[in-house]
Amino acid sequence: MKKRVKSYSAKGILFIFSLLYLIPVWMVLVNSIKAPADANMMGIGLPKDSTVHIGNYLTVIEQGGIAKAFFNGVLEATLSTVIVIITSSACAFVIARMKRRLTTIVYYAFIVGLVVPAAYIPTYLVLDKLSLLNTYAGIILIFTTYGLPMAVFLYVGFVKTIPRELDEAAIIDGCGPVRLFFQVIFPLLKPVTATQFILCFIGAWNDVMIPMFFANGSKWALPLTVYNFYGGYTKSWNLIFADIIITISPLVIVYLCCQKHIISGMTAGAVKG
C-alpha cells in the first residue's frame, strides 16, 4: 500500500511539473489559430467563435520571409552539425586510442571550451580579417567551434567503451586508419551521434546572438523572424504566436526522429572521460 501511495505521489508530482512546460506551449499553439482580438487576451481556451484561423500561418509565411529564413536555418544548422560530428568523432577516436601526453593536452583543451564564455569581439575581428563577416561560411564555422567541446567530450567517453580488439581485428584484415574509423568505429557511434546531432542542431537553430552579431538579416534563421514580427506586429499576437509555432516545428520533428537515442548517447558518453 505504501509503495502504491509513493508511486502515485511521484506520478502526480511529475504530472504537475509537466504542466508547467505544456501549458505555455498550449497557449502559444491555441492562440496562433485565433482572431487578433481573441489572441490578444492570452487565454488558453479554444477560439471563442469556434473558427480555426489557419490564415494566420499563411500571413506569416507571406509577409515574414519564412522561406528564406527557413533555408538559412537548415543550411547553417545542418552543415555545422555535420562538420562537428565528423571532426569531433575522428578527433575523439585519436584521443581515446592514443595514450600520449599531447592527446591528453588536446582533450583537456576541448574540455576547457565547455566553460570558457563566448568572446564576440575577438571573433568579430578574426572574421573581419578573414572576410567572413556576413557569410554563411563564417556563421557555420562559429557554430562548429562552439559545438566541438561537448561533442569531443561525449565521443571520447563512448569510444573508450568500444573494445580495442575490434581495431586489432580490422587492422589484421587490412584496414588502414581512415577505413578503420569510418567502416568499423563510426557505425558503432550511432547513439551518441544521434544525441550530438540533436544538441548541435537545436543549439545552432535557436542561437540568435551569433547571426545578430556577425550577419545581416539576409543570413538570419527562423528564430529571428519572431523579433521582426514582434517589432512590426506588436498588436497582432496571433501572428507572433503562429511565427513561434513555425519556428519550433523543425526542432520538434528532429527531436521525435532521434529522441530514442538521446538517453543512451548521453549516458554512454559520460561513462568514461
Whether 222 and 247 have beta carbons less than 8 Å apart is answered as: yes
Whether 18 and 228 have beta carbons less than 8 Å apart is answered as: no
Residue 273 has pLDDT above 50, yes or no: no
3-state SS of the chain: helix, strand, coil percent to 5? 80, 0, 20
Which pLDDT belongs to residue 265? 55
Beta-carbon contacts of residue 110 (< 8 Å; ≥ 6 apart)? 91, 148, 149, 152, 153
First and final C-alpha spacing in the chain:
43
Which pLDDT belongs to residue 232? 64
User: Is this model's pTM higher than 0.85 or not?
Assistant: no
Which pLDDT belongs to residue 3? 72
Find the mean pLDDT for residues 89-100: 91
Long-range contacts of 224-230 (CB under 8 A, 24+ apart): 224/69, 225/64, 225/65, 225/66, 225/69, 228/64, 228/65, 229/60, 229/64
Give the type of residue at 228: N
Q: What is the per-residue DSSP string for 186-199?
A: GGGGHHHHHHHHHH
Report the half-sphere exposure of 1 (CA within 13 A, side-chain side).
Answer: 0
Which pLDDT belongs to residue 139? 94
Most confident of 75-89, 155-169, 217-231, 259-273: 75-89
Per-residue burial over 194-222, b if 16 or more Cβ lie within 10 Å, else e, is: bbbbbbbbbbbbebeebbebbbeeebbbb
Which pLDDT belongs to residue 268? 55
Find the largest Cα–Cα distance for the chain: 73
Mean of per-residue pLDDT scores for the chain: 85
Which pLDDT belongs to residue 148? 93
Find the mean pLDDT for residues 186-196: 88
Task: Please tell me the least confidently modeled range out of 2-16, 117-131, 204-218.
Answer: 2-16
Distance between CA atoms of 236 and 205, rounded to whole angstroms? Answer: 25
Which pLDDT belongs to residue 262? 63
Topology at the third CATH level for domain 54-269: MetI-like fold (1.10.3720)
pLDDT in tens, 122-168: 889 999 999 999 999 999 999 999 999 999 999 998 898 888 888 88
Long-range contacts of 28-36 (CB under 8 A, 24+ apart): 28/241, 28/244, 28/245, 29/241, 29/245, 31/237, 31/238, 31/241, 32/56, 32/57, 32/238, 32/241, 32/242, 32/244, 32/245, 33/238, 33/242, 34/238, 35/238, 36/235, 36/236, 36/237, 36/238, 36/239
Distance between CA atoms of 37 and 138, rounded to whole angstroms? Answer: 42
Find the mean pLDDT for residues 94-99: 89
pLDDT in tens, 9-60: 888 888 888 888 888 888 989 999 888 888 888 888 888 777 888 888 888 8
Residue 92 has pLDDT above 60, yes or no: yes
Confidence of residue 234 (pLDDT cuts 50, 70, 90): low
